[in-house]
């Protein structure tokens, strides 16, 4: 195991946290677009609209924690390292609420469908940048990525198939809850479908210039770069 200095660990934790914040900011901008959020965040959004006693950030923590529980059920064991995905979910959920507050304060409601599209496209780029940033330090993964890795390892199915299953399940649950509660779609719209494909595409465009900056800063070893690439490919697989 490669020893990492305190200074390097500080830089990696910093980039990891910045990545989580940017991902949350991307989610918040997509919420502001009124076109639906990405599939993995759709369930938390819909639940926050139905059960308003919890914010979207809190529901994000609950949903993502349930992913960790599902991982333990599938693996039939509790891994201390994977248990750390829970505090990651807590931090991300807090960032979601913070970013929703910031974005709603400074970004006006989209006056037209065209502006909503612009917001949505911007949210995809921001979210893609955030995902790449928190993946790069090779510290921890988000629960959704952890569940994806577990399904791939357990079922031996291709990554894109397992990712479609996770995203599809989240979307179906979101649609069903929304229709039952409101009789219409809330939090899940055409933007949700676009984000399912668009975020992965945005990651491919953002990846090269971002890595040109982050890789030297994070002092990644060849093995760490290979692991990072595997996680990125999983995110881009749909």
Q: Dump pLDDT digits (tens) for 96-118.
A: 999 999 999 999 999 999 999 99
How far apart CA 206 and CA 210 sit, in angstroms, is: 6
Mean pLDDT of the region 69-94: 92
> Residue 133 burial by CB count (10 A; 0-12/13-18/19+): exposed, middle or buried?
buried
- The 3-state DSSP class for residue 4 equals coil
The answer to which of 2-6, 146-150, 202-206, 224-228 has the lowest mean pLDDT is: 224-228
Mean pLDDT of the region 156-174: 90
Mean pLDDT of the region 30-48: 93
**What pLDDT does residue 24 have?**
97
**What pLDDT does residue 1 have?**
47
Mean pLDDT of the region 199-227: 84
Taking phi over 0 as left and psi of -120 to 50 as alpha, with beta for the rest, 51 belongs to beta
**What pLDDT does residue 235 have?**
59
In the chain, % of residues over pLDDT 70:
94
Does pLDDT of 227 surpass 70? no
- Domain locations in the chain as residue ranges: 6-235
Does pLDDT of 119 surpass 50? yes
Please report which confidence band the pLDDT of residue 69 belongs to, taking 50, 70 and 90 as the band edges.
very high
Mean pLDDT of the region 107-131: 95
**What pLDDT does residue 232 have?**
65
Alpha helices in the chain (DSSP H): 6-33, 39-50, 56-75, 80-83, 85-106, 113-135, 143-155, 159-182, 190-218, 222-235
**What pLDDT does residue 230 have?**
64
């Amino acid at each position: 195991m490669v020893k990492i200095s305190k200074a390097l660990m500080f830089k990696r934790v910093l980039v990891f946290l910045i990545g989580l914040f940017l991902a949350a900011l991307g989610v918040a901008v997509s919420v502001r677009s009124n076109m639906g959020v990405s599939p993995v965040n759709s369930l938390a959004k819909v639940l926050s609209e139905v059960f308003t006693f919890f914010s979207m950030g809190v529901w994000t923590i609950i949903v993502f924690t349930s992913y960790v529980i599902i991982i333990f059920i599938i693996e039939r064991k509790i891994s201390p390292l994977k248990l750390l995905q829970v505090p990651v979910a807590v931090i991300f959920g807090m960032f979601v609420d913070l970013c929703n507050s910031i974005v709603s304060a400074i970004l006006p409601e989209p006056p037209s469908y065209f502006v909503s599209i612009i917001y949505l496209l911007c949210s995809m780029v921001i979210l893609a940048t955030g995902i790449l940033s928190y993946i790069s330090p090779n510290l921890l993964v988000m629960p959704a990525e952890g569940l994806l890795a577990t399904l791939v390892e357990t079922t031996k199915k291709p990554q894109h198939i397992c990712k479609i299953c996770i995203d599809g399940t989240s979307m179906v649950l979101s649609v069903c809850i929304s229709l039952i509660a409101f009789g219409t779609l809330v939090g899940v719209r055409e933007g949700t479908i676009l984000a399912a494909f668009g975020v992965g595409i945005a990651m491919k465009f953002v990846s090269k210039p971002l890595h040109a900056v982050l890789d030297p800063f994070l002092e990644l070893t060849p093995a760490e770069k290979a692991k990072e690439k595997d996680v990125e490919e999983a995110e881009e697989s749909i």
